[in-house]
A = this chain, B = another copy of it.
Amino acid sequence: MHEENNSRRGFIRKASISGLAALSIPAIVTDALAAHKGKTVKLQQNDVILFQGDSITDARRKRDDLTVNGASALGTGYAFMAASDLLCKYAGKSLNIYNKGISGNKVYQLAERWETDALELKPNVLSVLIGVNDFWHTLVRDYKGTIKTYKEDYTTLLDRTKQKFPEVKFIIGEPFAVKGIKSVDESWFPAFNDYQKAAREIADKYDAAFIPYQSIFDKAQKDAPGSYWTYDGVHPTIAGNRLMANAWLETVKG
């Protein structure tokens, strides 16, 4: 605790010396979203909302808990937090929320389980956050996929979904990484930026709401250091998950 506090005080001193303005967190979120067209998704009565992705979405959910809107089934990350807000605020809408993120997944692994973990749930709103492992595992796990693989697999996945459910609305999250924190060093850049650009282009192509998580995490570091928002540069802390949930919630309207 003392170390943490000292490090925080050091940060605040440095931030103040370097003249960084501390923006309020709500302003950071709305600014970042407005910068990307601010497309939103309108929720309808009885909508099925599905969160898909990797460990960031998974967030220790109990995978054998198949209940809709179940606390254990939704994990403890941004998906759970966003779900709790939706279920409370739109209590009259009878929303049905699922989280099917799985730790370690890359796009092709979503594709492998898409029939069971996406299509069978008949989603009206599909939120996808995928891509950090598609790049990261080329550095640490000898994964051979390229940016071309990512783009093609992602496009195929959304085409397949759209073909079955022409009215489905997509929410695409930007893969993000906080430089200088544990797993994320200089070697990630600029290569990782291509995955972010690809996710943004895919969002445009499918008229999806897009959440620019990278710029949100970048700007949040004016209020607290990167280690406050993410444990290892990839996985968010509670504060980081809430930051993501706030941004996610800005993309939906009741």
- The residues of A with any CB-CB pair to B shorter than 8 Å are 1, 4-5, 8, 12, 22, 24-26, 46, 60, 68-72, 74, 76, 80-81, 83-85, 87-89, 91-92, 94, 96, 220, 223-224, 228-229, 237-239, 241-243, 245-246
Contacts and interface: CB of A to CB of B under 8 A. Distances in A.
A223 B93 CA distance: 9
The binding surface of chain A is classed by DSSP as helix
B71 A76 contact: yes
B46 A88 contact: no
A92 B246 contact: no
Nearest to A73: B238
Contact of A84 (B46, B91, B242): B242
Question: Copy number in this complex?
Answer: 2
A84 B239 contact: yes
B25 A238 contact: no
Contacts of A4: 68, 94
A30 B241 CA distance: 26
Contacts of A60: 71-72
Contacts of A71: 60, 76, 237-238, 241
A224 to B, nearest CB: 4
A243 to B, nearest CB: 5
The 3 closest A-B pairs by CB, nearest first: A88-B242, A87-B239, A91-B224
